[in-house]
Structure 1
Amino acid sequence: MSSSERACMLCGLVQTEAEFVSKGCANCQSIFDKAGVDTIDCISPSFEGYVGMCKPNKSWCARWLRIDNFHQGLYAVKVDGRLPVDVVDLLPHYIPRDGSHVE
């Protein structure tokens, strides 16, 4: 893991911090904007594992990680950290990607 890599705490997309600052999150930016929070507050430098998704809508692994409706890219399996309350309040079915949710 590169020290500049970060993972989105909502979808798990992995990019460099600079990419998040310049482009935002390809999957979640509209939610962050609607909540009025800065993207930098929704990414984490602490994550585990990588999964590369070329065709998320056809992958059982993508369904298992709940990323099958997202853009192709590199995703973290587990992301440490908590999203800002303003973001969570917009998402009635939010499940944290830090492994704390028990089904």
Structure 2
Amino acid sequence: MMMMMMMMMMMMMMMMMMMMMMMMMMMMMMVMVVVVGGGGDDDDDNNGSDDDDYDDDDDDDDDDDDDDDDDDDDDDDDDDDDDDDDDDDNDDVVTNINKY
């Protein structure tokens, strides 16, 4: 009788340890999925349409500021035009990346 109780206790302890190990493995796998997989996907999404939206908003704000500067100085206009050309080049690069 005593032997049977000891065997049952040992079996239950082994099962509990196995369950705890499996739970820890599952938790580690979930953490890995979030850390490794989630970060890459978020970066890809941000390199796409979200960055384009932010760039467009920035360009609109710059254009509004340029209109205010047009009334003040003509020298600043040349510099701002060069900056706008650079922004257009950057937009082309981003759209080309999105096409592929």
More helix by percentage:
2
Query: How would you bin the TM-score normalised by the shorter chain?
Result: under 0.3
Higher strand share: 1
Higher relative contact order (CA 8 A, sep 6+): 1
Q: Normalised by the size of structure 1, how large is the TM-score? A: 0.18
- In terms of Rg, which structure is larger? 2
